[in-house]
Chains A and B, each alone.
Chain A
Protein backbone atom coordinates (compact mmCIF):
# COMPACT_ATOMS: atom_id res chain seq x y z
CA UNK A 1 0.00 0.00 0.00
CA UNK A 2 1.56 3.30 -0.99
CA UNK A 3 2.39 5.61 1.81
CA UNK A 4 3.28 9.10 0.82
CA UNK A 5 5.64 11.32 2.63
CA UNK A 6 4.03 14.18 4.45
CA UNK A 7 4.68 17.37 2.65
CA UNK A 8 4.85 20.58 4.52
CA UNK A 9 4.13 23.79 2.72
CA UNK A 10 3.99 26.01 5.72
CA UNK A 11 5.21 29.48 5.17
CA UNK A 12 4.34 29.24 1.49
CA UNK A 13 2.85 31.90 -0.67
CA UNK A 14 -0.73 31.30 0.34
CA UNK A 15 -1.16 34.51 2.23
CA UNK A 16 -0.75 35.54 5.81
CA UNK A 17 -3.30 35.77 8.60
CA UNK A 18 -3.06 39.54 8.50
CA UNK A 19 -3.81 39.82 4.81
CA UNK A 20 -5.80 43.00 4.14
CA UNK A 21 -8.50 40.76 2.67
CA UNK A 22 -9.34 39.70 6.18
CA UNK A 23 -9.94 43.18 7.46
CA UNK A 24 -11.78 44.73 4.61
CA UNK A 25 -15.28 44.23 5.91
CA UNK A 26 -17.68 47.02 6.53
CA UNK A 27 -20.88 45.86 5.07
CA UNK A 28 -22.16 42.56 6.38
CA UNK A 29 -25.63 43.74 7.24
CA UNK A 30 -26.71 40.45 8.66
CA UNK A 31 -29.24 39.94 5.90
CA UNK A 32 -28.00 37.37 3.44
CA UNK A 33 -29.15 36.94 -0.13
CA UNK A 34 -31.42 34.02 -0.94
CA UNK A 35 -29.96 30.59 -1.53
CA UNK A 36 -28.05 30.17 -4.72
CA UNK A 37 -27.99 33.85 -5.58
CA UNK A 38 -25.08 34.91 -3.42
CA UNK A 39 -21.92 36.14 -5.07
CA UNK A 40 -19.18 33.59 -5.22
CA UNK A 41 -15.76 33.69 -3.61
CA UNK A 42 -13.46 35.98 -5.52
CA UNK A 43 -10.80 34.37 -7.63
CA UNK A 44 -7.40 34.33 -6.07
CA UNK A 45 -8.53 34.82 -2.48
CA UNK A 46 -5.76 33.56 -0.27
CA UNK A 47 -6.58 32.12 3.09
CA UNK A 48 -4.08 30.98 5.67
CA UNK A 49 -3.04 27.36 5.98
CA UNK A 50 -3.84 25.22 8.97
CA UNK A 51 -1.26 26.19 11.56
CA UNK A 52 -2.70 24.54 14.66
CA UNK A 53 -1.88 21.10 15.93
CA UNK A 54 -4.01 18.44 17.60
CA UNK A 55 -3.40 16.90 20.98
CA UNK A 56 -5.23 14.85 23.55
CA UNK A 57 -5.30 17.39 26.33
CA UNK A 58 -5.95 16.55 29.95
CA UNK A 59 -8.55 18.39 32.00
CA UNK A 60 -6.93 20.17 34.96
CA UNK A 61 -9.98 21.87 36.44
CA UNK A 62 -13.69 22.39 35.82
CA UNK A 63 -14.94 25.59 37.45
CA UNK A 64 -18.42 27.04 37.58
CA UNK A 65 -18.77 30.71 36.63
CA UNK A 66 -22.45 31.70 36.87
CA UNK A 67 -24.26 29.61 34.22
CA UNK A 68 -20.97 28.97 32.43
CA UNK A 69 -18.20 26.42 32.88
CA UNK A 70 -14.52 27.33 32.82
CA UNK A 71 -12.66 24.31 31.49
CA UNK A 72 -8.94 24.39 32.22
CA UNK A 73 -6.74 21.95 30.30
CA UNK A 74 -3.04 21.13 30.16
CA UNK A 75 -1.51 22.97 27.24
CA UNK A 76 1.04 20.32 26.27
CA UNK A 77 2.78 21.37 23.08
CA UNK A 78 -0.13 23.53 21.93
CA UNK A 79 0.48 27.22 21.41
CA UNK A 80 -2.14 29.51 22.93
CA UNK A 81 -2.19 31.72 19.86
CA UNK A 82 -3.47 35.28 19.68
CA UNK A 83 -6.56 36.33 21.70
CA UNK A 84 -9.63 35.80 19.54
CA UNK A 85 -8.21 32.68 17.94
CA UNK A 86 -10.03 29.48 18.76
CA UNK A 87 -9.61 25.74 19.29
CA UNK A 88 -11.81 22.86 18.15
CA UNK A 89 -12.70 20.85 21.25
CA UNK A 90 -13.76 17.23 20.84
CA UNK A 91 -17.14 16.91 22.57
CA UNK A 92 -17.41 13.48 24.19
CA UNK A 93 -19.99 11.30 22.46
CA UNK A 94 -20.57 13.77 19.63
CA UNK A 95 -19.57 13.47 15.99
CA UNK A 96 -18.25 17.01 15.61
CA UNK A 97 -15.90 19.11 17.75
CA UNK A 98 -16.97 22.56 18.98
CA UNK A 99 -15.13 25.85 18.39
CA UNK A 100 -14.11 27.72 21.58
CA UNK A 101 -12.00 30.84 21.82
CA UNK A 102 -9.13 30.93 24.27
CA UNK A 103 -10.30 32.50 27.55
CA UNK A 104 -7.17 32.13 29.66
CA UNK A 105 -3.62 31.13 28.79
CA UNK A 106 -1.55 30.94 31.96
CA UNK A 107 1.73 29.03 31.67
CA UNK A 108 1.13 25.37 30.80
CA UNK A 109 -2.61 25.84 30.58
CA UNK A 110 -5.48 26.78 28.30
CA UNK A 111 -8.85 27.88 29.64
CA UNK A 112 -12.17 27.84 27.77
CA UNK A 113 -15.39 29.47 28.98
CA UNK A 114 -18.32 27.37 27.81
CA UNK A 115 -22.08 28.03 27.81
CA UNK A 116 -23.92 24.69 27.96
CA UNK A 117 -26.57 25.46 25.35
CA UNK A 118 -26.61 22.26 23.29
CA UNK A 119 -25.53 18.60 23.31
CA UNK A 120 -21.89 19.37 22.42
CA UNK A 121 -21.34 22.17 24.91
CA UNK A 122 -23.16 20.17 27.60
CA UNK A 123 -20.84 17.22 26.93
CA UNK A 124 -17.82 19.51 27.25
CA UNK A 125 -19.10 20.96 30.52
CA UNK A 126 -19.53 17.39 31.75
CA UNK A 127 -15.81 16.61 31.44
CA UNK A 128 -14.07 15.75 34.70
CA UNK A 129 -10.59 16.45 36.02
CA UNK A 130 -8.18 13.93 34.51
CA UNK A 131 -10.27 13.27 31.36
CA UNK A 132 -8.44 13.51 28.05
CA UNK A 133 -10.01 14.81 24.86
CA UNK A 134 -8.90 15.92 21.40
CA UNK A 135 -8.18 19.59 20.92
CA UNK A 136 -7.02 21.30 17.70
CA UNK A 137 -5.64 24.78 17.38
CA UNK A 138 -5.02 27.63 17.60
CA UNK A 139 -7.17 28.37 14.55
CA UNK A 140 -8.43 31.38 12.65
CA UNK A 141 -7.42 35.01 13.01
CA UNK A 142 -7.44 36.76 16.37
CA UNK A 143 -7.61 40.42 17.38
CA UNK A 144 -5.01 42.89 16.18
CA UNK A 145 -3.25 44.09 19.32
CA UNK A 146 -1.60 47.16 17.79
CA UNK A 147 -4.30 49.57 19.02
CA UNK A 148 -3.75 52.80 20.93
CA UNK A 149 -6.83 53.17 23.15
CA UNK A 150 -8.36 49.69 23.45
CA UNK A 151 -11.87 49.18 24.81
CA UNK A 152 -13.33 45.70 25.16
CA UNK A 153 -17.07 45.44 24.50
CA UNK A 154 -18.75 42.12 25.15
CA UNK A 155 -22.11 40.49 25.66
CA UNK A 156 -22.95 37.22 27.44
CA UNK A 157 -20.72 34.29 26.54
CA UNK A 158 -19.04 36.70 24.09
CA UNK A 159 -16.79 37.77 26.97
CA UNK A 160 -15.02 34.40 26.64
CA UNK A 161 -11.91 35.70 24.79
CA UNK A 162 -11.59 38.83 26.98
CA UNK A 163 -9.59 37.60 29.99
CA UNK A 164 -6.72 36.56 27.68
CA UNK A 165 -7.21 39.63 25.47
CA UNK A 166 -7.21 41.95 28.49
CA UNK A 167 -3.99 40.39 29.76
CA UNK A 168 -2.27 40.85 26.40
CA UNK A 169 -3.43 44.49 26.19
CA UNK A 170 -2.42 45.38 29.74
CA UNK A 171 -5.86 45.53 31.33
CA UNK A 172 -7.78 48.04 29.19
CA UNK A 173 -11.28 49.25 30.18
CA UNK A 174 -14.17 46.92 29.31
CA UNK A 175 -17.94 47.26 29.02
CA UNK A 176 -19.75 43.97 29.45
CA UNK A 177 -23.47 43.30 29.12
CA UNK A 178 -25.33 40.35 30.60
CA UNK A 179 -28.85 38.97 30.82
CA UNK A 180 -28.76 38.71 34.61
CA UNK A 181 -26.53 39.14 37.65
CA UNK A 182 -25.98 35.38 37.57
CA UNK A 183 -24.61 35.55 34.01
CA UNK A 184 -22.57 38.63 35.04
CA UNK A 185 -20.46 36.50 37.37
CA UNK A 186 -18.29 35.96 34.29
CA UNK A 187 -17.29 39.64 34.46
CA UNK A 188 -15.05 38.78 37.42
CA UNK A 189 -12.65 37.19 34.90
CA UNK A 190 -12.12 40.55 33.13
CA UNK A 191 -10.21 43.36 34.91
CA UNK A 192 -11.47 46.97 34.76
CA UNK A 193 -14.94 45.95 33.58
CA UNK A 194 -18.11 48.02 33.78
CA UNK A 195 -21.10 45.72 33.84
CA UNK A 196 -24.57 46.49 32.51
CA UNK A 197 -27.57 44.22 32.84
CA UNK A 198 -30.58 43.94 30.52
CA UNK A 199 -32.53 45.99 29.64
CA UNK A 200 -29.46 48.26 29.44
CA UNK A 201 -27.30 47.54 26.42
CA UNK A 202 -23.51 47.82 26.17
CA UNK A 203 -23.91 50.40 23.42
CA UNK A 204 -25.51 52.74 25.98
CA UNK A 205 -22.43 52.48 28.21
CA UNK A 206 -19.70 52.61 25.55
CA UNK A 207 -17.41 55.62 25.99
CA UNK A 208 -16.39 57.29 22.72
CA UNK A 209 -12.89 57.73 21.34
CA UNK A 210 -11.63 54.18 21.78
CA UNK A 211 -10.38 51.40 19.57
CA UNK A 212 -13.18 48.91 20.12
CA UNK A 213 -12.59 45.15 20.25
CA UNK A 214 -15.96 43.40 20.55
CA UNK A 215 -17.40 39.92 20.88
CA UNK A 216 -21.00 38.98 21.50
CA UNK A 217 -24.31 38.15 19.83
CA UNK A 218 -24.75 39.32 16.25
CA UNK A 219 -27.25 42.15 17.01
CA UNK A 220 -24.79 43.53 19.58
CA UNK A 221 -21.93 43.41 17.07
CA UNK A 222 -24.07 45.22 14.49
CA UNK A 223 -24.99 47.89 17.06
CA UNK A 224 -21.37 48.29 18.16
CA UNK A 225 -20.25 48.68 14.58
CA UNK A 226 -22.82 51.40 13.92
CA UNK A 227 -21.23 53.40 16.77
CA UNK A 228 -17.63 52.38 16.12
CA UNK A 229 -17.22 51.65 12.39
CA UNK A 230 -13.58 50.63 12.82
CA UNK A 231 -14.24 48.16 15.61
CA UNK A 232 -12.67 44.71 15.45
CA UNK A 233 -15.53 42.25 15.77
CA UNK A 234 -15.31 38.56 16.69
CA UNK A 235 -18.14 36.67 14.96
CA UNK A 236 -19.59 33.24 15.52
CA UNK A 237 -21.00 30.54 13.26
CA UNK A 238 -21.63 26.80 13.48
CA UNK A 239 -18.49 24.98 12.37
CA UNK A 240 -17.80 21.34 11.63
CA UNK A 241 -14.04 21.44 11.16
CA UNK A 242 -12.58 24.85 12.07
CA UNK A 243 -9.82 24.67 9.45
CA UNK A 244 -11.48 25.43 6.14
CA UNK A 245 -12.49 21.92 5.09
CA UNK A 246 -16.28 21.88 5.45
CA UNK A 247 -17.38 25.32 4.18
CA UNK A 248 -20.09 25.21 6.83
CA UNK A 249 -19.27 28.45 8.67
CA UNK A 250 -19.81 30.84 5.78
CA UNK A 251 -21.03 34.31 6.62
CA UNK A 252 -21.37 37.32 4.38
CA UNK A 253 -18.28 39.50 4.30
CA UNK A 254 -18.30 42.42 1.88
CA UNK A 255 -21.09 40.86 -0.09
CA UNK A 256 -19.36 37.50 -0.36
CA UNK A 257 -19.86 34.30 1.56
CA UNK A 258 -16.59 33.51 3.26
CA UNK A 259 -15.46 30.89 5.71
CA UNK A 260 -15.36 32.44 9.15
CA UNK A 261 -12.90 29.82 10.40
CA UNK A 262 -10.11 30.80 8.03
CA UNK A 263 -11.00 34.41 7.22
CA UNK A 264 -12.25 35.24 10.74
CA UNK A 265 -13.45 34.87 13.37
CA UNK A 266 -12.21 38.41 14.09
CA UNK A 267 -13.08 40.83 11.33
CA UNK A 268 -12.67 44.56 11.32
CA UNK A 269 -12.50 47.64 9.20
CA UNK A 270 -9.19 48.24 7.48
CA UNK A 271 -6.63 49.57 9.92
Chain B
Protein backbone atom coordinates (compact mmCIF):
# COMPACT_ATOMS: atom_id res chain seq x y z
CA UNK B 1 0.00 0.00 0.00
CA UNK B 2 1.19 3.46 -0.87
CA UNK B 3 0.03 6.75 0.56
CA UNK B 4 -0.48 9.47 -2.06
CA UNK B 5 -2.01 12.92 -2.25
CA UNK B 6 -5.13 13.49 -4.31
CA UNK B 7 -4.33 15.62 -7.35
CA UNK B 8 -4.77 19.33 -6.71
CA UNK B 9 -4.66 19.03 -2.93
CA UNK B 10 -0.96 19.65 -2.33
CA UNK B 11 1.62 21.82 -4.06
CA UNK B 12 4.97 20.12 -3.76
CA UNK B 13 6.84 23.32 -4.47
CA UNK B 14 5.28 25.31 -1.64
CA UNK B 15 5.12 22.44 0.87
CA UNK B 16 8.00 20.02 0.17
CA UNK B 17 7.99 18.77 3.75
CA UNK B 18 4.38 17.62 3.40
CA UNK B 19 5.29 15.77 0.20
CA UNK B 20 8.15 14.03 2.00
CA UNK B 21 5.56 12.19 4.11
CA UNK B 22 4.09 10.53 1.01
CA UNK B 23 5.12 7.48 -1.00
CA UNK B 24 4.13 9.11 -4.28
CA UNK B 25 3.31 12.69 -5.25
CA UNK B 26 0.52 13.40 -7.73
CA UNK B 27 0.65 16.80 -9.46
CA UNK B 28 -2.17 19.22 -10.00
CA UNK B 29 -3.75 18.55 -13.40
CA UNK B 30 -1.69 19.75 -16.36
CA UNK B 31 -3.38 20.88 -19.58
CA UNK B 32 -1.82 21.76 -22.96
CA UNK B 33 -2.14 25.53 -22.44
CA UNK B 34 -1.60 27.62 -19.29
CA UNK B 35 -4.78 28.29 -17.32
CA UNK B 36 -5.40 30.81 -14.55
CA UNK B 37 -8.53 28.98 -13.54
CA UNK B 38 -11.97 30.24 -12.65
CA UNK B 39 -12.68 33.68 -11.21
CA UNK B 40 -12.87 34.00 -7.42
CA UNK B 41 -14.66 33.00 -5.19
CA UNK B 42 -13.33 29.50 -5.87
CA UNK B 43 -13.83 27.64 -2.57
CA UNK B 44 -16.58 27.32 0.02
CA UNK B 45 -17.13 25.24 3.11
CA UNK B 46 -20.35 23.32 3.73
CA UNK B 47 -21.58 21.38 6.75
CA UNK B 48 -20.40 18.09 5.24
CA UNK B 49 -17.48 18.98 3.02
CA UNK B 50 -15.86 21.57 0.86
CA UNK B 51 -16.68 22.90 -2.59
CA UNK B 52 -14.05 24.01 -5.04
CA UNK B 53 -14.23 25.49 -8.49
CA UNK B 54 -10.55 26.17 -9.15
CA UNK B 55 -10.89 25.36 -12.85
CA UNK B 56 -7.65 23.48 -13.59
CA UNK B 57 -5.28 26.38 -12.88
CA UNK B 58 -1.88 25.20 -14.14
CA UNK B 59 1.17 26.47 -15.99
CA UNK B 60 0.51 24.44 -19.15
CA UNK B 61 2.57 21.50 -20.38
CA UNK B 62 5.49 23.54 -21.76
CA UNK B 63 6.21 25.44 -18.55
CA UNK B 64 5.43 22.35 -16.51
CA UNK B 65 8.06 20.29 -18.29
CA UNK B 66 10.62 23.09 -18.46
CA UNK B 67 10.24 24.58 -15.02
CA UNK B 68 8.17 22.49 -12.60
CA UNK B 69 9.20 18.94 -13.43
CA UNK B 70 12.93 19.38 -12.75
CA UNK B 71 12.10 20.81 -9.32
CA UNK B 72 9.58 18.03 -8.59
CA UNK B 73 12.22 15.45 -9.45
CA UNK B 74 14.36 16.85 -6.64
CA UNK B 75 11.71 15.94 -4.05
CA UNK B 76 12.87 12.35 -3.90
CA UNK B 77 9.44 10.70 -4.24
CA UNK B 78 8.00 9.20 -7.43
CA UNK B 79 5.94 11.77 -9.34
CA UNK B 80 2.66 11.01 -11.07
CA UNK B 81 1.37 13.67 -13.42
CA UNK B 82 -2.35 14.32 -13.57
CA UNK B 83 -3.28 14.90 -17.21
CA UNK B 84 -6.31 16.96 -18.20
CA UNK B 85 -7.88 18.55 -21.20
CA UNK B 86 -10.98 19.47 -23.12
CA UNK B 87 -10.68 17.04 -25.98
CA UNK B 88 -9.05 13.73 -26.76
CA UNK B 89 -6.26 15.62 -28.53
CA UNK B 90 -5.48 17.54 -25.34
CA UNK B 91 -4.94 14.34 -23.34
CA UNK B 92 -2.83 12.84 -26.10
CA UNK B 93 -0.72 15.98 -26.49
CA UNK B 94 0.08 16.26 -22.78
CA UNK B 95 0.72 12.54 -22.38
CA UNK B 96 2.97 12.39 -25.43
CA UNK B 97 5.02 15.33 -24.13
CA UNK B 98 5.58 13.46 -20.85
CA UNK B 99 6.56 10.20 -22.49
CA UNK B 100 10.20 11.20 -22.73
CA UNK B 101 10.35 12.56 -19.18
CA UNK B 102 12.03 10.02 -16.94
CA UNK B 103 11.01 12.02 -13.87
CA UNK B 104 7.39 10.98 -14.48
CA UNK B 105 6.60 7.63 -12.88
CA UNK B 106 2.99 7.38 -14.06
CA UNK B 107 0.13 9.32 -15.63
CA UNK B 108 -3.26 9.83 -14.06
CA UNK B 109 -5.95 10.86 -16.50
CA UNK B 110 -8.31 13.38 -14.94
CA UNK B 111 -11.41 12.24 -16.78
CA UNK B 112 -13.83 13.70 -14.32
CA UNK B 113 -13.17 17.32 -13.35
CA UNK B 114 -16.54 18.81 -12.39
CA UNK B 115 -15.32 22.38 -12.86
CA UNK B 116 -14.84 22.60 -16.57
CA UNK B 117 -17.64 22.69 -19.08
CA UNK B 118 -16.31 20.42 -21.77
CA UNK B 119 -15.66 16.99 -20.34
CA UNK B 120 -14.62 13.98 -22.38
CA UNK B 121 -17.62 11.84 -23.18
CA UNK B 122 -16.02 8.52 -23.67
CA UNK B 123 -13.54 7.38 -21.05
CA UNK B 124 -12.57 4.32 -23.07
CA UNK B 125 -11.70 6.35 -26.16
CA UNK B 126 -9.49 8.77 -24.22
CA UNK B 127 -7.68 5.97 -22.43
CA UNK B 128 -7.10 4.10 -25.69
CA UNK B 129 -5.78 7.21 -27.42
CA UNK B 130 -3.37 7.96 -24.59
CA UNK B 131 -2.37 4.30 -24.34
CA UNK B 132 -1.20 4.55 -27.93
CA UNK B 133 1.33 7.28 -27.07
CA UNK B 134 2.64 6.21 -23.68
CA UNK B 135 4.28 3.20 -22.13
CA UNK B 136 4.05 4.71 -18.66
CA UNK B 137 1.66 3.24 -16.10
CA UNK B 138 -1.73 4.80 -16.83
CA UNK B 139 -4.33 5.44 -14.14
CA UNK B 140 -7.85 6.56 -15.02
CA UNK B 141 -9.43 8.88 -12.44
CA UNK B 142 -13.16 8.37 -12.58
CA UNK B 143 -16.23 10.20 -11.42
CA UNK B 144 -18.67 8.35 -9.20
CA UNK B 145 -21.50 10.47 -10.62
CA UNK B 146 -22.60 7.85 -13.12
CA UNK B 147 -25.17 5.11 -12.87
CA UNK B 148 -22.54 2.37 -12.65
CA UNK B 149 -18.92 3.33 -12.13
CA UNK B 150 -17.77 -0.28 -12.57
CA UNK B 151 -18.89 -0.12 -16.21
CA UNK B 152 -16.65 2.90 -16.75
CA UNK B 153 -13.87 1.06 -14.93
CA UNK B 154 -14.19 -1.92 -17.25
CA UNK B 155 -14.16 0.38 -20.29
CA UNK B 156 -10.95 1.95 -19.02
CA UNK B 157 -9.43 -1.48 -18.42
CA UNK B 158 -10.35 -2.72 -21.90
CA UNK B 159 -8.80 0.41 -23.37
CA UNK B 160 -5.51 -0.32 -21.69
CA UNK B 161 -5.55 1.44 -18.32
CA UNK B 162 -3.14 0.04 -15.75
CA UNK B 163 -5.07 1.27 -12.75
CA UNK B 164 -7.97 3.29 -11.41
CA UNK B 165 -8.11 6.36 -9.19
CA UNK B 166 -11.41 6.46 -7.33
CA UNK B 167 -12.98 8.94 -6.86
CA UNK B 168 -13.01 12.53 -8.05
CA UNK B 169 -15.26 15.17 -6.48
CA UNK B 170 -19.00 15.36 -7.15
CA UNK B 171 -20.77 18.52 -8.24
CA UNK B 172 -22.36 20.47 -5.41
CA UNK B 173 -23.78 23.90 -4.59
CA UNK B 174 -23.61 26.11 -1.50
CA UNK B 175 -25.58 29.29 -0.87
CA UNK B 176 -24.61 32.37 1.12
CA UNK B 177 -26.06 32.48 4.63
CA UNK B 178 -27.63 35.92 4.13
CA UNK B 179 -28.07 36.54 0.40
CA UNK B 180 -29.05 32.98 -0.60
CA UNK B 181 -26.90 33.37 -3.70
CA UNK B 182 -24.21 30.82 -4.71
CA UNK B 183 -21.02 31.21 -2.68
CA UNK B 184 -18.84 30.22 -5.62
CA UNK B 185 -18.50 32.64 -8.52
CA UNK B 186 -19.04 29.74 -10.89
CA UNK B 187 -22.16 28.62 -9.01
CA UNK B 188 -21.45 24.93 -8.63
CA UNK B 189 -18.20 23.25 -7.62
CA UNK B 190 -16.69 19.90 -6.76
CA UNK B 191 -17.63 18.52 -3.35
CA UNK B 192 -14.82 16.91 -1.38
CA UNK B 193 -14.23 15.91 2.21
CA UNK B 194 -16.19 13.71 4.62
CA UNK B 195 -19.35 13.67 2.48
CA UNK B 196 -17.48 11.66 -0.15
CA UNK B 197 -16.46 8.81 2.14
CA UNK B 198 -19.39 6.42 1.66
CA UNK B 199 -19.56 7.29 -2.05
CA UNK B 200 -15.87 6.51 -2.49
CA UNK B 201 -16.26 3.26 -0.57
CA UNK B 202 -19.16 2.20 -2.79
CA UNK B 203 -17.24 3.06 -5.97
CA UNK B 204 -14.11 1.18 -4.86
CA UNK B 205 -16.24 -1.75 -3.73
CA UNK B 206 -18.07 -1.95 -7.08
CA UNK B 207 -14.92 -1.61 -9.17
CA UNK B 208 -13.04 -4.19 -7.13
CA UNK B 209 -15.78 -6.69 -7.97
CA UNK B 210 -15.58 -5.82 -11.66
CA UNK B 211 -11.83 -5.66 -12.28
CA UNK B 212 -8.46 -6.74 -10.96
CA UNK B 213 -6.82 -3.40 -11.80
CA UNK B 214 -4.94 -1.72 -8.95
CA UNK B 215 -7.09 0.96 -7.32
CA UNK B 216 -6.03 4.18 -5.60
CA UNK B 217 -8.88 4.90 -3.20
CA UNK B 218 -9.66 8.47 -2.18
CA UNK B 219 -12.55 10.59 -1.01
CA UNK B 220 -12.79 12.19 2.40
CA UNK B 221 -9.93 10.27 4.00
CA UNK B 222 -9.28 12.10 7.27
CA UNK B 223 -8.21 9.30 9.63
CA UNK B 224 -6.37 6.00 9.57
CA UNK B 225 -9.71 4.27 9.96
CA UNK B 226 -10.97 5.90 6.74
CA UNK B 227 -7.92 4.57 4.92
CA UNK B 228 -8.42 1.05 6.33
CA UNK B 229 -12.01 1.03 5.09
CA UNK B 230 -10.95 1.96 1.56
CA UNK B 231 -8.41 -0.87 1.63
CA UNK B 232 -11.08 -3.26 2.84
CA UNK B 233 -13.40 -2.17 0.02
CA UNK B 234 -10.67 -3.06 -2.45
CA UNK B 235 -8.25 -0.15 -2.81
CA UNK B 236 -4.57 -1.07 -3.06
CA UNK B 237 -3.34 2.44 -2.33
CA UNK B 238 -4.89 5.42 -0.56
CA UNK B 239 -4.78 9.13 -1.34
CA UNK B 240 -5.37 12.05 0.99
CA UNK B 241 -7.06 15.19 -0.32
CA UNK B 242 -9.03 17.78 1.60
CA UNK B 243 -7.48 16.65 4.91
CA UNK B 244 -4.24 18.32 3.79
CA UNK B 245 -5.94 21.72 3.80
CA UNK B 246 -6.46 21.73 7.55
CA UNK B 247 -3.12 20.09 8.34
CA UNK B 248 0.01 19.86 6.17
CA UNK B 249 1.10 17.00 8.47
CA UNK B 250 -2.02 14.94 7.72
CA UNK B 251 -0.13 12.16 5.95
CA UNK B 252 2.12 11.45 8.92
CA UNK B 253 -0.83 11.37 11.30
CA UNK B 254 -3.01 9.21 9.03
CA UNK B 255 -0.17 6.77 8.41
CA UNK B 256 0.43 6.23 12.10
CA UNK B 257 -3.30 5.90 12.78
CA UNK B 258 -3.54 3.40 9.93
CA UNK B 259 -0.75 1.28 11.39
CA UNK B 260 -2.42 1.25 14.80
CA UNK B 261 -5.86 0.51 13.35
CA UNK B 262 -4.58 -2.41 11.28
CA UNK B 263 -2.75 -3.84 14.27
CA UNK B 264 -5.89 -3.57 16.40
CA UNK B 265 -7.84 -5.44 13.72
CA UNK B 266 -5.23 -8.19 13.49
CA UNK B 267 -3.62 -7.33 10.17
CA UNK B 268 0.15 -7.55 10.09
CA UNK B 269 0.37 -5.64 6.82
CA UNK B 270 -1.87 -3.08 5.07
CA UNK B 271 -1.91 -5.18 1.91
CA UNK B 272 -3.57 -8.00 3.83
CA UNK B 273 -6.59 -5.81 4.46
CA UNK B 274 -7.15 -5.15 0.76
CA UNK B 275 -10.55 -6.44 -0.31
CA UNK B 276 -11.56 -8.10 2.95
CA UNK B 277 -14.98 -6.44 2.68
CA UNK B 278 -15.67 -8.86 -0.17
CA UNK B 279 -14.89 -11.97 1.82
CA UNK B 280 -17.55 -13.82 3.81
CA UNK B 281 -17.92 -12.63 7.35
CA UNK B 282 -16.80 -15.06 9.98
CA UNK B 283 -19.11 -15.12 12.96
CA UNK B 284 -17.45 -14.50 16.27
CA UNK B 285 -20.46 -15.72 18.24
CA UNK B 286 -19.55 -19.37 18.69
CA UNK B 287 -16.29 -20.84 19.74
CA UNK B 288 -15.73 -22.86 16.60
CA UNK B 289 -15.96 -19.88 14.29
CA UNK B 290 -13.73 -17.84 16.59
CA UNK B 291 -11.08 -20.47 16.03
CA UNK B 292 -11.76 -20.23 12.29
CA UNK B 293 -11.46 -16.46 12.43
CA UNK B 294 -8.20 -16.70 14.29
CA UNK B 295 -6.90 -19.20 11.77
CA UNK B 296 -8.01 -16.92 8.97
CA UNK B 297 -6.42 -13.83 10.41
CA UNK B 298 -3.15 -15.53 11.18
CA UNK B 299 -2.73 -17.72 8.15
CA UNK B 300 -4.61 -17.05 4.97
CA UNK B 301 -4.84 -13.31 5.01
CA UNK B 302 -1.53 -12.74 6.67
CA UNK B 303 0.70 -15.05 4.74
CA UNK B 304 2.96 -12.22 3.74
CA UNK B 305 2.85 -10.56 7.13
Among A1, A33, A34, A96, the residue within 8 A (CB) of B245 is: A96
Residues of A within 8 A of B43 (CB): 238-240, 246, 248-249
* Contact between chains at A250 and B37 (CB < 8 Å): yes
Fill in one digit per residue for A2-24: 1 if any B CB lies within 8 Å of its CB, else 0: 11111111101010000000000
- The SS class assigned to the B binding surface is loop
* Contact between chains at A6 and B20 (CB < 8 Å): yes
Total residues of chain A contacting the partner, CB 8 A: 56
A32 at the interface (CB under 8 A from B): yes
Given contacts A1-B259, A41-B59, contact A7 B76 (CB under 8 A): yes
Question: Which residue in chain B gives the minimum CB-CB distance to A262?
Answer: B14
Fill in one digit per residue for B20-60: 1 if any A CB lies within 8 Å of its CB, else 0: 11110000100001111111111111000110101101111
- The SS class assigned to the A binding surface is loop
B146 at the interface (CB under 8 A from A): no
Distance A6 CA – B252 CA, assembled complex (angstroms): 10
Residues of A within 8 A of B33 (CB): 40
Distance A249 CA – B38 CA, assembled complex (angstroms): 11
Residues of A within 8 A of B186 (CB): 35
A129 at the interface (CB under 8 A from B): no
* Contact between chains at B255 and A3 (CB < 8 Å): yes
A188 at the interface (CB under 8 A from B): no
Given contacts A4-B77, A40-B36, A95-B194, contact A134 B246 (CB under 8 A): yes
A44 at the interface (CB under 8 A from B): yes
Residues of A within 8 A of B255 (CB): 1, 3
Size category, B interface = 35 or more
Distance A46 CA – B246 CA, assembled complex (angstroms): 23
Residues of B within 8 A of A2 (CB): 2, 23
B297 at the interface (CB under 8 A from A): no
* Contact between chains at B11 and A244 (CB < 8 Å): yes
Question: Which residue in chain A gives the minimum CB-CB distance to B194?
Answer: A95
Question: Which chain B residues in 231-262 approach chain A with CB under 8 Å?
Answer: 242, 244-249, 255, 259
A38 at the interface (CB under 8 A from B): yes
Given contacts A36-B55, A54-B248, contact A246 B21 (CB under 8 A): no
* Contact between chains at A41 and B57 (CB < 8 Å): yes
* Contact between chains at B177 and A118 (CB < 8 Å): yes
* Contact between chains at B57 and A257 (CB < 8 Å): yes
* Contact between chains at B58 and A245 (CB < 8 Å): no
Question: Which residue in chain B gives the minimum CB-CB distance to A2?
Answer: B23
Q: Report the minimal beta-carbon distance from A35 to chain B, rounded to whole angstroms.
A: 4
Given contacts A4-B21, A96-B45, A241-B244, contact A32 B39 (CB under 8 A): yes
Can you identify 24 A-B contacts, CB atoms within 8 angstroms? A6-B20, A8-B16, A9-B74, A38-B36, A38-B39, A40-B36, A41-B57, A43-B34, A48-B14, A49-B15, A50-B14, A95-B45, A95-B246, A96-B50, A97-B245, A136-B248, A237-B40, A245-B9, A245-B244, A246-B245, A247-B8, A247-B54, A248-B43, A249-B42
Q: Measuring CB to CB, which residues of chain A are less than 8 angstroms from any residue of chain B?
A: 1-10, 12, 14, 32-36, 38-41, 43-44, 47-50, 54, 88, 90, 94-97, 118-120, 134, 136, 237-241, 243-251, 256-257, 262
Q: Measuring CB to CB, which residues of chain B are less than 8 angstroms from any residue of chain A?
A: 1-2, 8-11, 13-18, 20-23, 28, 33-45, 49-50, 52, 54-55, 57-60, 62-63, 66-67, 71, 74-77, 116-117, 177, 185-186, 193-194, 242, 244-249, 255, 259, 269-270
